[in-house]
């Protein structure tokens, strides 16, 4: 279990370092998944080495057991041949190999139990990493949504506290003023044109009435002269 404990320690250190930076949640999560997968790969290598040791112990236990059985057969052969001394030596060798086989078998069983625990822990670790990978996209989406909301609130806060909208209001007032002045100039222009036209007609009327009076005066004067001549 020491291997996976070290992996967990490394992962916690990486997570803490990333959270401390936490500049970009998406990059942080992607990096975290990459670190997890790298540590998972390292864990698989360590477990594979433990499995190799397990198989080696099993093989050595079987080999020593087989050696013990061979020496037992040799002892039997010596007994049949009437050579008890040789049979005793063979039995001593058998006992030695049986002891080796027993020791390797115990080591194998202990290693096998550890390997099974490592395999189980490795499966849990892989499951958690797969779950983290599935959650990553959801977390990234939530982070982006939260960032967008924060940006909107910051923008609204900054606009409410400065003269941006006041500037728009002032510009609207200026446009209204310019439009009013333009309308007034238009009305003045129309009034001036009408006045000029009216003045022309008045002048014409004045001119006609003056000539009529002169004509009447002339006719009256001529009538007076004719009356004097007739007298």
pLDDT band at residue 197 using 50, 70 and 90 as cut-offs: low
Mean pLDDT of 73-90: 93
More confident residue, 1 or 159: 159
Nearest of 4, 32, 30 to residue 16 by alpha carbon: 32
Q: What distance in Å separates the CA atoms of residue 72 and residue 62, rounded to the nearest whole number?
A: 15
Q: What distance in Å separates the CA atoms of residue 100 and residue 179, rounded to the nearest whole number?
A: 109
Q: What distance in Å separates the CA atoms of residue 98 and residue 72, rounded to the nearest whole number?
A: 10
In whole angstroms, what separates CA 10 from the centre of its chain? 25
pLDDT tens digits, residue range 9-64? 555 555 555 555 556 777 878 888 888 888 888 889 989 999 999 999 999 999 99
User: Contact, 11 vs 37, CB < 8 A?
Assistant: no
Q: What distance in Å separates the CA atoms of residue 153 and residue 155, rounded to the nearest whole number?
A: 5
Give pLDDT, residue 211.
60
Does the global pTM surpass 0.75? no
Give pLDDT, residue 230.
67
Mean pLDDT of 158-162: 58
What ranges in the chain are assigned the alpha helix state H?
2-21, 25-80, 84-160, 164-230
pLDDT tens digits, residue range 101-111? 999 999 999 99
pLDDT tens digits, residue range 205-214? 655 555 666 6
What are the residues whose beta carbons fall under 8 Å from the beta carbon of 126, sequence distance 6 or more? Answer: 40
Q: Which residue shows structure tokens 């002169």?
A: 214
Residue 149 has pLDDT above 90, yes or no: no
């Amino acid at each position: 279990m020491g291997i996976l404990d070290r992996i967990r320690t490394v992962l916690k250190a990486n997570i803490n370092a990333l959270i401390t930076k936490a500049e970009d949640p998406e990059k942080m999560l992607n990096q975290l998944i990459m670190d997890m997968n790298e540590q998972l790969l390292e864990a698989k290598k360590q477990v594979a080495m433990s499995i190799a040791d397990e198989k080696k112990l099993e093989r050595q236990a079987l080999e020593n057991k087989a050696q013990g059985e061979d020496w037992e057969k040799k002892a039997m052969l010596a007994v049949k041949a009437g050579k008890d001394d040789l049979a005793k030596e063979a039995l001593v060798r058998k006992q030695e190999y049986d002891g080796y086989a027993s020791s390797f078998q115990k080591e194998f069983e202990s290693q096998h139990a550890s390997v099974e625990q490592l395999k189980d822990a490795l499966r849990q670790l892989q499951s958690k990493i797969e779950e983290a990978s599935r959650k990553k996209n959801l977390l990234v989406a939530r982070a982006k949504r939260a960032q967008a909301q924060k940006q909107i609130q910051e923008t609204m806060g900054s606009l409410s506290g400065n003269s941006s909208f006041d500037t728009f209001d002032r510009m609207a007032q200026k446009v209204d003023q310019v439009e009013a002045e333009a309308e007034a100039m238009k009305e003045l222009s129309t009034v001036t044109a009408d006045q000029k036209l009216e003045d022309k007609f008045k002048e014409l009327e004045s001119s006609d009435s003056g000539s009529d009076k002169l004509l009447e005066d002339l006719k009256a004067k001529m009538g007076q002269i004719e009356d004097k001549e007739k007298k």
